[in-house]
Structure 1
Amino acid sequence: MKPLMRRGLANFYYLRRPLFRFSLLLLVAAGLVVVGGLCFHDYYRHQQMSYSEAFYTTYCLIFMEHIYEYPEHWLLQLYYWVLPPLGLAVILDGIVQFSYHLLRRDENSKEWMQAMAKTYNDHVILCGLGRVGFRILEELQHLGEHVIVLEKNADSTNIPYARKRGIPLFVGSGREEGILEELNLAAAKSIILATDDDLANLEMALDARKLNPDVRIVMRMFDQDLASKIREAFGIDLVFSTSAVAAPLFATASTDRSITNSFYVDGKLLVVAEVDVADNSTLVGRDIRTLRRKHDIYVITCKRAGRSDFYPEGDLKLAVADRITIQTEPAMLKQIHRWNGGEVVH
């Protein structure tokens, strides 16, 4: 949905409640006019009024305009005194309330956030905007995803980042009654639970699964062993520990300065490394397809003469001064360093 269309729809949702209240007040005023008109038609003694004249007389009384003589009947006298202030109070209250919502709209208010959230569909809900949550939000922005954020700390230094970019941001706890509905969970494709409270994350995960059985749940936990058990027991799509994710990188990077990332896939440790092809390297002249098929070395990028080639063709042959980014196992990376030092490639 285009931003202009989204804001227009959000304005409709935002003004729907005051419009409804204003409509109720107008109905009350209309009721007063109808009842008063019937009374004037039946009890006004100075002259016989038609229904239209009686209704019009009552309508004019609301605005303190008297078009007929003062009535003799006590009920009509009561209308003469009570209807003008009561009718004006009802109408003016509705006008003031509606104008306040229209002209003094606060785009950081909860009401506006609720209106914006209703315009989202197939979005990602991010709970927690701490250090981890902030990085997640940045990556989601780079991926072009639509995000709604929930952060319990109103003083978080990361809140201005989200608001500056027009991201709907709710301040509150995920344990609050109805908060997930306000985040429009029913229309979301996934929810990321990245707070530093394991129990709160688990509780929100269970509530989310109950409200939307199809939503993808990604949850952060500090205890990796517990995370694995929870994933199996509660059917959560992905549960991870940030320490467990970071540990392989710290360990492998400390042993080899070329390593830029590392991770486990089905229990196997893989590393991502940058290697500069040396002058005496036996990698020179080797094509990328052979490295992949014979040695399980996957070349992600090849930088040559200042130009980076992502996922280069298999027949590309390596040359001196090429900088290649590769993915492989740690043992094979050590072998690459030996080849790069002149050892013959078999």
Structure 2
Amino acid sequence: MKQSRRHFRANLRYLRALVRRFRTTLVLSAVLFLGGPLLFHWRFRGPGGDRIDFGEALHHTYFLLYGQPSLPYVDDWMVELLNLVIPPAGIALVADGVVRFAYLFFARHKNDKEWIEVVSETMKGHVVVCGAGRVGYRVVTQLREMGKDVVVVEKREDAAFVSALRDELVPLLIDDTRSPLCLPRTNVKDASAIVCATDDDLANLNIALDARKLNPDIRVVIRLFDDDLSGKVRETFKAEALSSSSLAAPAMALAAMDPRIVHSFHLAKHLMVVSLFEARLGLPGLTISDVRDRFGCLALSLQRNGEERLHPQGEEVIRPGDVLSLQASYPEYRRLRAFTHEAEPPLWSHHAPVAVVTPSSRKVG
């Protein structure tokens, strides 16, 4: 239901953008198909001196577009002037305006550049994602789950997730980001952020620079493979530069040391971890607040009797068998594991799972 309302609102915005873009065409069409028949109704006199009604005048105007007048010749300079002017003017109007309007309205699935430009004009505060690879696709998925409008730019038609994005009706522009018209087509001047997620460091930097020229206030997030470069960009360019290796390194290191850690990230100089704790020794009888105050661990969720609750209340008493998802710094995590008599991770066996961490699996932002 929510998705249907979102598509309905998007269609309304798209229709308004089309009307705004083709307002001159629509006004001239109204003049042609209303003013023309009214003039014929006023000036035309048949062989017997009778006037024609509006419907017959409209019929004559319509067929004049194709050079097929339906009314006979009369000796009236205004009527003949209309007969001469309406065909070329009407054909030019229909060919240049009405046909393009209809094409853009009914052929949205073609994702051509003009359609993307019109769709982007309907958005404000959206996010432009450059790169339709694995990282770009996951960023788009995450943003859409949070209700954010997204426009994607990809230079290759055969990129990995182009078909998937089109199936999900995500506006996707196939264009070279080095083209001076590429970013303007995404309405980057009204965007709130741009994510540069291609697999080319230099291309990502160029995109970021071009975006800042068009929108000095835009938030820039850059994916870089060079750790040294990411640090320099973060300091001098005032952008969020994320190195794939720096994102993956904590997860890989901790996965090698302790498979019970399900997520990790750096917060300034602190290594933060998220782990699941099953309430056995030590934890039962404590409250959520006790765990936070004594060990500095924040409870993200509580699983009990097959049900999971996010952000359990501080006065909630932990029962045997409860499973807590806790976030803490790595030293605090170790201290709590020692308190629960689980200081050492389980020994490896051939039944143990293999942790696979890829840079693309880390969340960007």
Question: What TM-score results when the alignment is normalised by the length of structure 2?
Answer: 0.72
**Maintained 8 Å contact 1:25/1:90:** no
Query: For the residues of structure 1 that align with 2:163 and 2:254, how far apart are their CA atoms?
Result: 36
Q: 1:11 maps to what in 2?
A: 15
Q: 1:117 maps to what in 2?
A: 120
Q: 2:129 maps to what in 1?
A: 126
Give the CA deviation at 1:341.
Answer: 2.8
Q: 2:294 maps to what in 1?
A: 294
Query: For the residues of structure 1 that align with 2:116 and 2:260, how far apart are their CA atoms?
Result: 45
Query: Deviation digits for residues 13-51 of structure 1, max 9, x if unmatched?
Result: 4466666468789999xxxxxxxxxxxxxxxxxxxxxxx
Q: 1:272 maps to what in 2?
A: 274
Query: For the residues of structure 2 that align with 1:68 and 1:284, how far apart are their CA atoms?
Result: 101
Q: 1:334 maps to what in 2?
A: 334
Amino acid at match of 2:181: G
Q: Which has the larger radius of gyration?
A: 1
Give the CA deviation at 1:100.
Answer: 5.7
Q: Which sections of structure 1, spanning at least 5 residues, go unmatched?
A: 29-58, 70-75
How many percent identity over aligned positions?
Answer: 29
Query: For the residues of structure 2 that align with 1:307 and 1:68, how far apart are their CA atoms?
Result: 85
Query: For the residues of structure 2 that align with 1:109 and 1:263, how far apart are their CA atoms?
Result: 40
**Maintained 8 Å contact 1:22/1:95:** no
**Maintained 8 Å contact 2:295/2:335:** no
Equivalences for 1:112-191 in 2 at 5 Å?
112-191=115-194
Give the CA deviation at 1:290.
Answer: 2.2
**Maintained 8 Å contact 1:273/1:326:** yes
Structure 1 pair 66–204 and aligned structure 2 pair: CA distance change class (3 A): same
Q: 1:248 maps to what in 2?
A: 250
**Maintained 8 Å contact 1:26/1:91:** no
**Maintained 8 Å contact 2:151/2:186:** yes
Q: 2:73 maps to what in 1?
A: 67
Query: Deviation digits for residues 129-164 of structure 1, max 9, x if unmatched?
Result: 101111111111211111111111111231222222
Query: For the residues of structure 2 that align with 1:254 and 1:145, how far apart are their CA atoms?
Result: 36
Query: For the residues of structure 2 that align with 1:101 and 1:297, how far apart are their CA atoms?
Result: 58
Equivalences for 1:55-94 in 2 at 5 Å?
67=73, 88-94=87-93
Structure 1 pair 22–262 and aligned structure 2 pair: CA distance change class (3 A): closer
Amino acid at match of 2:8: L
Equivalences for 1:200-215 in 2 at 5 Å?
200-215=203-218
Query: For the residues of structure 1 that align with 2:91 and 2:125, how far apart are their CA atoms?
Result: 41
**Maintained 8 Å contact 1:123/1:187:** yes
For the aligned residues, what is the CA RMSD?
3.3
Query: For the residues of structure 1 that align with 2:129 and 2:138, how far apart are their CA atoms?
Result: 11
Q: 1:106 maps to what in 2?
A: 107
Query: For the residues of structure 2 that align with 1:272 and 1:9, how far apart are their CA atoms?
Result: 42
SS of equivalent residue, structure 2 residue 231: helix
Query: For the residues of structure 2 that align with 1:299 and 1:176, how far apart are their CA atoms?
Result: 48
Give the stretch that moved more between structures: 199-208 or 293-302: 293-302
Give the CA deviation at 1:84.
Answer: 7.5
Structure 1 pair 317–114 and aligned structure 2 pair: CA distance change class (3 A): same
Structure 1 pair 256–10 and aligned structure 2 pair: CA distance change class (3 A): same
Query: Deviation digits for residues 309-335 of structure 1, max 9, x if unmatched?
Result: 222222222221111111123333333
SS of equivalent residue, structure 1 residue 176: coil
Give the CA deviation at 1:185.
Answer: 1.2
